[in-house]
Structure 1
Amino acid sequence: MADLTPHELRILLAVESAGSFSGAAVALDMTQSAVSHAIRASERRIGAVLFERGRKGATPTPAGASALGYARRVLRLLELMGAEARAAAAGPGSAAPAGVLRIAAFRSAALHLLPPALERLRTRHPGIEPVVRVVRELGRGTAGEVLDGRADLGIATIGTSAPVPDELVGGVLREEEYALVYPAGHPAPRTLPLLDWAENCTSYTRDWWAAQDWIPRATVEAEDDGAVLSMVSAGLGMAIMPGLSLHGAPDAVGITALGPERPTRAVGYVTTPELARSPAVRALIRELRVSGG
C-alpha cells in the first residue's frame, strides 16, 4: 500500500472540517472533482470507506475518524520536525522551545492548575504560544483530544481505573481528596439534597459512592463543578467535590474532610510518545509538576 502524502492528509481534514467535498474544495482552492478523486484514491490505498456521502454532505465513518486522528498527528509531527530541525541548525544557543503548544484541559484544571504553569512557561520560554481548549472529562475526554491529534498535551484524570491509553504516555501531577461541601453553618449537611455534575462520579469514585448509605440520589445534575459550587453556596444542597474544584470557594461554603476512607483522584498529563520528546511539551510538563506538587 502506498503511503498517503501530506497533501492528501490535508484534503481528508478539509473534508471533515467543511462537512462536504464542495466546502473542502473552496477551502483548498481546488475543484470538487479533484477533492473527490483524492478521497477515493485515499480510500483505495487505506482499504476502507472514510466518509459517508449524502445529501447533507460528508460524514466520517468509524474508519474515517480513526484515519483523521492519525492524519492530524502526522501533520503535527511534520510541523515539529521542521521547527526543531531549524532550531538545531541554528546552534545550541538558539534552540529555545518555540511555536504553538496545544493543550486540552478539563475546567477546574484549566482554571487552577494551568495558569501558574503557563505563567512560568511564558517567563522562561517566551517563544512558546500556548493554546488552551477546555474539554469535558467525559468519554474519551482530554486523552481523546491528544489521540485525535487536536492537542499536544492533555491534563486528564488518570489512575488504575482510568489508565493512560496504550498509545499515549503520561504521569501523575497531583493526588487530590474529595470533600463534603455544604452551605456554611448548616447543622446537618448530610441531610441535604445532593447536587452533582456528570464528570464527577466516574469509575474512580463509583465503588466508594455506592457503599455510602447516607448519600441520596442527586436531585440536581449541573453542567459543571462551578455551577454545583454556586448552588451549594446559595443553600440549595450539599455536594462531594475534588480539591481542584474547591479552589477559591466562597465563604458561604463549608468544606469537611470525608475521613480516612475518602475517595481520591489522580490528575495528570497525557501526550504521545513522539510529542513527549518535543522541547515545548517537556518544558510544559516541568512547569506542571511544580504546579501540581
Structure 2
Amino acid sequence: MLETWSLRVLVEVAERGSFSAAADALTMTQPAVSRQIAALEHKVGVALFRRVPRGVAPTAAGAIAIDEARAILGRLAGMESRLGAFAELRTGHVRVSAFPSANTEFVPEAIRRFSDLYPGVDVSLVVAGWRQIRSGDVDVALVTNWDRVDDDGVDLVPLLEEEHRVALPAAHRLAGRTTVPLRDLRGETWIEGSHPDCLGPLEGLEKALGGPPRIGFTCDDWTGKQALVAAGMGVTIISTLAASAVRPDIALRPAAPALPRRRVLAAVAPRDVRTPAARAMLTVLTTLAAGYR
C-alpha cells in the first residue's frame, strides 16, 4: 500500500521541478527525496520522472500518478477538515432525551445555552431512553434513580437532587397550609402519571396516608395532569424540577412527612467513545445543574 508521505513527496517534486527544491520545501535532504521517489517507482513498477537539463519532469505514468496523488491528498485534507470541525464543535449533531418534567424548563434551558455556545451543532430532543445510548441513537439521556439503568456500556453522571411537592387545586381546603400533612389527604382522589413523573415509590406514600392512594385518573400528558388538578378532580405529586411550569391555579406544598427526594442523572456513552458534542452537552448540563434551586 502506498504511504501518504510518499505521495506528498511525489507531488512536491512535480511542483518544484527538482529533487533539491522539493527537499528544501519539505525540510529533507536531496538524497532522502531521491530515495522516496526511487522506492515509490519500485513499488509501482514504473518510472515516474525523467531527467531534464534543469531538474526532472514527469513521465506519462508519472503525470497520472501525480494527478491521483493530488486527488488523494485533497480528499485526506478534506476529511481532516471535516473531522476537525466535529472535534472543535463547529458542526455536528447531539441527540438528547429526557422525561416530561425535565423538559418543562431544565432541558430547554440547557439546549439554549448549548446552542449559544455551539451554533454550528444541531440539537435534537428525541423520544427515547438510556438503552439507545448503546446503539448510538441517543447521545445524552436524562434519567432518575428510580430507573434501573444497566451500567454496562453506559456512564451515569449525577446532575442534581430534587424534591417533591403535593399539587392541590388552588381552592383546596389545604392549599393555604404551609405544609400539608399527608394523612389529611387519605380520602383524596389521586392522579397518577407516567414513569418517572408518577407517584414514585408508593410504599412511602402508602405508609404516610395509612393505606394505598385511591387513584382515580392516570394521565401521561403533563398538561392534562395539571388540568385535572386545577379542575378539582384530584391531587398529585410534582417534582420541584418542574415547579416553574406549574399553572397558577395549582398550589404546590411540601408534605409532612417529606416525600422522597429524587436524583437526576445523565446517561452517556463511556468517556473513550463519547462524541465531542455529547461531552459539551454534558458540561452544559452539569453547569446548569450546579446552579439549580
* Shorter-chain TM-score tier: 0.5 to 0.7
Amino acid at match of 2:80: R
2:229 — aligned with what?
232
Mark the CA change 1:204 to 1:169 in structure 2 (over 3 Å): closer, same or farther: farther
SS, match of residue 223 in structure 2: helix
SS, match of residue 201 in structure 2: helix
Answer yes or no: is the 8 Å Cα contact 2:100–2:197 preserved in 1.
no
Distance in 1 between residues matched to 2:161 and 2:201, nearest whole Å: 13
* Deviation (angstroms), 1:279: 1.6
Q: Which of these residues, 74, 85, 95, is aligned with residue 88 of structure 2?
A: 95
Rg larger for: 2
* Deviation (angstroms), 1:257: 0.5
* Deviation (angstroms), 1:164: 5.4
1:280 — aligned with what?
277
Distance in 2 between residues matched to 1:179 and 1:89, nearest whole Å: 47
> Structure 1, unaligned stretches of length 5 or more?
1-81, 136-141
Q: Which of these residues, 213, 218, 232, is aligned with residue 215 of structure 2?
A: 218
Q: Which of these residues, 247, 256, 259, is aligned with residue 262 of structure 1?
A: 259
Mark the CA change 1:283 to 1:113 in structure 2 (over 3 Å): closer, same or farther: same
Q: Which of these residues, 154, 160, 163, is aligned with residue 177 of structure 1?
A: 163
- After superposition, where does 1:117-156 map in structure 2 within 5 Å? 117-135=110-128, 142-156=129-143
Amino acid at match of 2:206: A
SS, match of residue 102 in structure 2: helix
Amino acid at match of 1:184: A
Deviations 1:82-135 (A, max 9, x none): 9xx7359759xx833521111122222223111111111111111210111134
Distance in 1 between residues matched to 2:84 and 2:130, nearest whole Å: 34
Distance in 2 between residues matched to 1:96 and 1:147, nearest whole Å: 22
Amino acid at match of 1:124: L
Mark the CA change 1:250 to 1:149 in structure 2 (over 3 Å): closer, same or farther: same
1:86 — aligned with what?
80
Distance in 2 between residues matched to 1:90 and 1:201, nearest whole Å: 40
For the pair 1:253 / 2:239, whether they are aligned, the reply is no
Distance in 2 between residues matched to 1:218 and 1:178, nearest whole Å: 18
Mark the CA change 1:247 to 1:284 in structure 2 (over 3 Å): closer, same or farther: same
Distance in 1 between residues matched to 2:198 and 2:219, nearest whole Å: 15
Distance in 1 between residues matched to 2:274 and 2:285, nearest whole Å: 16
Deviations 1:14-73 (A, max 9, x none): xxxxxxxxxxxxxxxxxxxxxxxxxxxxxxxxxxxxxxxxxxxxxxxxxxxxxxxxxxxx
Answer yes or no: is the 8 Å Cα contact 2:92–2:120 preserved in 1.
yes
Distance in 1 between residues matched to 2:140 and 2:241, nearest whole Å: 19
1:68 — aligned with what?
none
2:49 — aligned with what?
none
* Deviation (angstroms), 1:147: 2.7
* Deviation (angstroms), 1:245: 3.4
SS, match of residue 155 in structure 1: strand
* Deviation (angstroms), 1:143: 0.8
2:100 — aligned with what?
107
Identical aligned residues as a percent: 21
Deviations 1:252-274 (A, max 9, x none): 10111024642111112111115
Answer yes or no: is the 8 Å Cα contact 1:158–1:172 preserved in 2.
no
Amino acid at match of 1:272: A
* Deviation (angstroms), 1:287: 1.0
- When the two structures are aligned, how many residues end up with a matched partner? 203
Distance in 2 between residues matched to 1:213 and 1:205, nearest whole Å: 13
TM-score (normalizing by structure 2): 0.60
TM-score (normalizing by structure 1): 0.60
Answer yes or no: is the 8 Å Cα contact 1:164–1:170 preserved in 2.
no
Distance in 2 between residues matched to 1:228 and 1:171, nearest whole Å: 30
Q: Stretches of 4+ moved more than 4 A in 1? A: 87-91, 200-204
Distance in 1 between residues matched to 2:102 and 2:117, nearest whole Å: 21
Distance in 1 between residues matched to 2:257 and 2:90, nearest whole Å: 43
